[in-house]
Structure 1
Amino acid sequence: MINKYLAYYESPIGTIRITADDDSITTLHFMIEMDGVELEPINMNETLEKCIEQLDLYFKGELREFDLKLNPSGTDFQKKVWNEILKIPYGKTRSYLDLSRLLGNEKSIRAIARANGENKIAIIIPCHRVIGSDKSLTGYTWGLWRKKWLLNHEAAVVSNECQLSLF
């Protein structure tokens, strides 16, 4: 039997709902509509505690790469896309076309965009780092303003580190 665990995290850009099984994060998403929503009871485990600690560090600009076991539900194709998205470096972006080329089929752009939008573990699987070929901030399930915030946050951290290394 697989146990299910639940926690919430108050980020600078909204409440995040996180679920886990015994040793893996299974979902992480922003709660868009909070008015009148009754939150489910929190049921913490070590996996969720570690995730929350890492989210704290990420939002403080002190963590670039999450060290968490992930177990999102999805098709084999979606998981292949999400694994490729995990390779996008902190503070960098890739286009849907870049991803389709990396996955060996330029014509799969729409399917890749759909898989990106179905990402079950926001921020950790950094779907916010996927942009249009023209550098535009195209679709983000959690709102383009959040995508822009996350990209600006990472760019500021990288920029600040570059400035610090000059001295």
Structure 2
Amino acid sequence: MADKLSHIDAGGNAVMVDISGKADTTRIAIAKARVLMSAETYALIANHGHKKGDVLAIAQLAGIMGAKKTPDLIPLCHPLPLTSVTVDLELVDGVDAVDITATCKTTGKTGVEMEALTAASVAALTVFDMCKAVDKGMQITDLRVTRKEGGKSGTFVTD
């Protein structure tokens, strides 16, 4: 299996992939996550009643900051000049959840999937952190890339 993994060389050593021969293209990635919570926690967020502040606004900012820190967190991830990062958080009625959508863009030699996943993860972790004192049973679920554009492999879309 090691010969099929791009971050492992023939000797089994970790390597940062050499992207110097790749063309610069516009790259876009969208990642999503969900935070499930109790009805009481959902109401607290929806009514802006949390004593720590606006949970969704703070999680949005944290997600954007997380995308910018991705190469500091993922050891073999290339640092990228992000041209855009958006993080949208939406309360889901009837499910008692916050849905998170992170979109990252760049023009470069490698994709921004890790940045989008990091943004969605950090936003979800921030919701969890801000609400854990009132809801220890929250769950972070469904973290995934739902769209990727650019590069040699083209476009990938899923839900």
Which TM-score tier does this pair reach, normalised by the shorter chain? under 0.3
TM (norm. structure 2) is 0.26
Which one has the bigger strand percentage? 2
Larger Rg: 2
TM (norm. structure 1) is 0.25
